[in-house]
Amino acid sequence: METNHVITTNSRFLYGLATHHRLKSKGMKTLLRNARILSLEKDFSIQEGDVLVEYGAIKKIAPKIKEKGVDETIDCRGGLLLPGFKNAHTHSAMTFARSYSDDLPLREWLFDKIFPLEALLRPEDQYYLSRLAILEYLTSGITACFDMYYNPLEMARAAKEMGFKAVLLGTVTKDRESVAEMVESYHEINDGNPLVSYQLGYHAEYTCSEEILEELSKASHKLRCPIYTHTSETYGEYEGCKERHHGLSPVEYAESLGLLDYGGGGFHGVAFSKEDIEIYRKHGCSLVTCPGSNAKLASGIAPLTDVLKAGVNLAIGTDGPGSNNGLDFFYEMRLASVLQKLRLMDPTAMKGTDVLYAATVGGSIAMGLLDACYVKEGQRADLVLIDLDRPNMRPLNDIANNLVYSGGKDDVRMTMVEGKVLYLDGKFNVGCPLEEIVSKAEEVTSRLKSEYESSHR
């Protein structure tokens, strides 16, 4: 299958931003030997060979590499080396809400549980809570996340310290954050660090006033940058927007305000019409599907096959741990495929390879990480190594499809970000003991629960 996806103007802007003044690593050389390499640049073919990583980038790919001065050699043992998964929509700090707000409809979950708990968060809480999420991302082969949450400097601190890659996203509402604060964060965080960048966003149409969105549109035009948001997550949201705005859907309303003029994208897209999809195609926007969260909240199933057919870039996200509840990309990939088959009652719909592309390259495009799309010389070394000797990965009939339909987190041997191995054979290399990260997140969560329960007696 050919992967002929168009890089949009928005993506080119983000690519320039992400690579501007790129900070080099310490110059460490890592040699990955004996790998099955799935580049994903042109198709889903696999080659065998070695990969040399230096200065955080892929320097050389060849059947056999002889290199002097290598600092670290990892025997891939015939495992599958491919671009890291990109979690294109999440709320990392919401680890505090995992299994504390289950089995509720979206609106009740959000307004009765999540918003009141979030009001109790201190900025530094998000640092501790986000570190726990990063650990979970690494075990799932995720090398970057598109993190939508308040106080982005806290997630930026966690990502930098742990060596993880995060594109941070503003989330203005009528009650939290402001456009001025987001513009300030935009300038402060986009300083050329290869691990973190920042984009403008708003929580959703139904949590923002038109005045806020008009101000946001002006900021986007001044900065010439994209905007992202939750959109059309439920049919109730979709119909409510049409009632509030003279028959316009959330996507049509966003377009009317100029919020899509520099591209960007939306998360969920469950209630996406053909007109919405065409608007996204016209503006070079990406749709990020979150099938696990949408299924758990009974929000619906997004029309992903229609999105792909129209040529809109598709990416995948876990959503936050408060609504999913796991941050497992194998679960998301499998659901993204099988729910489309069920929606259309067609077993040929949404091939596994389409999903794998969305989980890797599609996510890179949506997040503007165009230098981390492929296993290719010159691309950043954001890679995942899959153990193909595990029983569920055998026999090797169709490795790419099997990764989607049979793969699991236990198959991840290594997760590498910017040429640094952060996770290998069950052990973390993130500059902080696992026990400390877990205990601090537990401590914050216990305090939040105590304060929440005291105020709701």
CA-based R_g, the chain, Å: 21
Region 276-284 average pLDDT: 98
CA distance 46 to 403: 13
CA distance 165 to 380: 11
CA distance 100 to 95: 10
pLDDT of 137: 98
pLDDT beyond 50 at 431? yes
pLDDT beyond 60 at 16? no
pLDDT beyond 70 at 188? yes
pLDDT of 454: 86
pLDDT in tens, 65-106: 999 999 999 999 999 999 999 999 999 999 999 988 888 888
Q: Are strands 286-289 and 80-83 parallel, antiparallel or unpaired?
A: unpaired
Residues 6 or more apart whose CB falls under 8 angstroms from that of 161 comprise 430, 431, 432
Q: Are strands 420-424 and 142-148 parallel, antiparallel or unpaired?
A: unpaired
pLDDT of 265: 98
pLDDT of 252: 98
Q: If we measure between CA atoms, which residue out of 373, 8, 10 comes closest to residue 200?
A: 10
pLDDT in tens, 159-170: 999 999 999 999
Q: How confident is the model at residue 11 (pLDDT cuts 50, 70, 90)?
A: very low
pLDDT in tens, 300-348: 999 999 999 999 999 999 999 989 999 999 999 999 999 999 999 999 9
pLDDT beyond 50 at 258? yes
Q: How confident is the model at residue 14 (pLDDT cuts 50, 70, 90)?
A: very low
Percent of the chain past pLDDT 70, that is, above it, reads: 94
pLDDT beyond 70 at 3? no
Q: What is the mean pLDDT of the chain?
A: 93
pLDDT of 26: 54
- Residue 393 phi/psi, 5-degree rounding, is -100, 5
Q: If we measure between CA atoms, which residue out of 57, 19, 419 comes closest to residue 193?
A: 19
Q: How confident is the model at residue 370 (pLDDT cuts 50, 70, 90)?
A: very high
pLDDT beyond 70 at 22? no
pLDDT beyond 80 at 230? yes
CA distance 288 to 254: 17
pLDDT of 110: 84
pLDDT of 374: 98
Region 213-228 average pLDDT: 98
Q: What is the per-residue burial (b if ≥16 Cβ within 10 Å, else e) of 206-235?
A: bbbeeebbebbbebbeebebbbbbbbbbbe
pLDDT of 13: 40
> Do 65 and 48 contact (CB within 8 A), yes or no?
no
> Do 293 and 331 contact (CB within 8 A), yes or no?
no
pLDDT beyond 90 at 453? no
Cis omega before residue 395 (within 30°)?
yes
pLDDT of 15: 38
pLDDT of 19: 38
E strand map for 113-263: 142-148, 165-169, 196-202, 227-231
Region 133-161 average pLDDT: 97
pLDDT of 104: 82
Query: What pTM did the predictor assign?
Result: 0.93
Domains of the chain, each with CATH number or no CATH: 9-83+381-426 (2.30.40.10), 85-367 (3.20.20.140)
Percent of the chain past pLDDT 90, that is, above it, reads: 87
pLDDT of 452: 87
Q: Which two tokens stand for residue 223?
A: 């900065």
Region 210-223 average pLDDT: 98
